[in-house]
Chain A
Amino acid sequence: MRNLLKSEFRKVIYTKSFYGYLVGAIFLALLASFPAAYSIHALKSQLDGASLMDPQLVAGVYGKAISGYLFTMILGIALIGNEYQSGQIVSTFLATPQRLKVLCAKLVVAACAGIFIMVISTLIGFGGAYLGLSHYPHAKAGLSIFLNLLLAAVISGAVISIMGVAIGALIRNVKVAQVGAIIWLFVVEKLIVVFWSTGGKFLPSGLIVGMLNVHIDLKSSESFLNISTTNYFGVGASIALMLAYAAAFAFIGSWITLRRDVD
């Protein structure tokens, strides 16, 4: 297993796209976190209770630092999908014909790479939020916000990259899988989380909000603009559900990898 892990790590660190995903995640984290304080300040006349005096809203601003998780999904898809597409999987399976071992190594390496990307991008995003909030001296971040954010970064980095590996094993066309993942995570899930929190709280995006332990309840004169995360799961339940996602997707990935012939 050590040999396989070494080989899979080499596949990640030798490939330029890994560093591209890291840069992308940092960019997204900064893009979401730095202007968040200004957005809330600008919206306070439209949204009842939107004030940076509220510690939950401040936590929400810092929570934006975790926005780079999309790139861990893309990384997971690429890790296995590119191998099938290029034919590299042939030499992987010739070196280690026990496919379950190969997939386990891929899942471990994907999880580690996902955690690395998320921790780095979240820390930089946290810095961006800190800079954005520095214009509002009453908005303070406590240690618990930082620790929750770090915990959510670690769990989401591992789980979402594992989900990516399973999706990469399932969908043969890497580009289709990656574009589909972007649309799902960036559009569909966001809409569900915002407009149907009862269902949204079960999705990875909703569980990330749950892990951040941010409880926001903002009302607008236009009801569709209401934002509420008060009924989301707590930290423990969110982590448990995220790990259940990881287990389910790892099972799907293994099942497909074991059954699939190499073209």
Chain B
Amino acid sequence: MSIIEFRGLTKAYKDVVAVNNLTAKAEAGRITGFLGPNGAGKSTTLKCLLSLATPNSGSALIHGVPYQALVNPMRQVGAVIESGGYNPSLSAIRNLEIIAAAAGIPDARAVEVLKLVELLDVAPKKVKEFSLGMKQRLSLATALLGDPEILVLDEPSNGLDPIGIAWLRTFLKNLAHDGRSILISSHQLAEMQNTVDDVLIIHKGKLITEGSMPDVIGIGTLEEAFIRLVEAS
């Protein structure tokens, strides 16, 4: 059963078409890698999915409805978006309390998710004093506030050091093991090969392939398959 579906999604900014008639889906209970080179349209697609940007045509649906139409959306979908989502002048705990209040989630949950991402020790610290890795963990904590069944993660490993990447890999696998469905965008192919079950690859806003990891890579690595598919598109 597909939990996320793009139907003919098109999004243009002035003359630039960022996403072009994208039709694809992500299945329940699986980790789906949303891959593509820089500027392929991954972030724009995810913003349309989360109702942060309005498509020119087509639709992006979660459980068959737009994000905007979900009841208690943070309890159904948790998201990490590149632009952060927090006030850098406030502490981690204050930022989470603000979001929790808006979503009707008890403040105690903010402490729980900070513990989960191993940031409890620095909870009173201002976010602007955080390293990139700590900010990424805080974003993950934000996404988990509502204990959602679906996670949409836009480049969560960007700027992470090898230890951070290893931590993220284990963390995501544990989340998937709990039965969550995860859509994760990235251009770090080696890492994705170790993490995801299914793959969607887009280039210049268009879908070039989708399927399970073994079907897409065939013989060789994800990187080799990716380069072959992008060059052929």
Contacts and interface: CB of A to CB of B under 8 A. Distances in A.
A6 B101 CA distance: 6
Contacts of B95: 88, 91
B103 interface: yes
B89 A263 contact: no
Nearest to A262: B52
A82 B47 CA distance: 20
A97 B89 contact: no
A96 B105 CA distance: 13
Interface string B71-83: 0011001010101
Contact of A86 (B52, B88, B103, B142): B88
A263 B101 contact: no
A16 B101 CA distance: 19
Contact of A261 (B52, B81, B104): B52
A93 to B, nearest CB: 6
Nearest to A263: B83
Interface in B33-88: 47, 50-54, 67-68, 70, 73-74, 77, 79, 81, 83-88
Interface in B90-107: 90, 94-95, 97-99, 101-104
A263 B50 CA distance: 13
Interface residues of B, number: 32
B101 A10 contact: yes
A29 to B, nearest CB: 26
Contacts of A224: none
Interface in A1-58: 3-4, 6-7, 10-11, 14-16
A187 interface: no
Contact of B79 (A14, A87, A94, A263): A94
A143 interface: no
B87 A90 contact: no
A91 B85 contact: yes
Contacts of A3: 101-104
Contacts of A86: 84, 86-88
A228 interface: no
B86 A94 contact: no
A259 to B, nearest CB: 8
Contacts of A98: 68
Contacts of B54: 259, 261
A227 B81 CA distance: 56
A98 B90 CA distance: 25
Contacts of B85: 87-88, 90-91, 94
B142 A91 contact: yes
Nearest to A94: B79
Nearest to B67: A97
A262 B101 contact: no
A14 B83 contact: no
B13 to A, nearest CB: 8
A97 B48 CA distance: 12
A87 B83 CA distance: 5
Contacts of B74: 94-95
B98 A11 contact: yes
Given A3-B104, A262-B47, A262-B83, A91 B99 contact: yes
Q: Enumerate the 8 nearest inter-chain pairs by beta-carbon distance, A residue then B residue, closest first.
A: A7-B102, A87-B83, A91-B85, A95-B102, A7-B101, A87-B84, A261-B53, A262-B52
15 contacts: A3-B103, A6-B102, A14-B90, A14-B98, A82-B87, A86-B84, A86-B86, A88-B95, A90-B85, A92-B99, A96-B102, A97-B68, A98-B68, A259-B54, A261-B52
Interface of B: 47, 50-54, 67-68, 70, 73-74, 77, 79, 81, 83-90, 94-95, 97-99, 101-104, 142
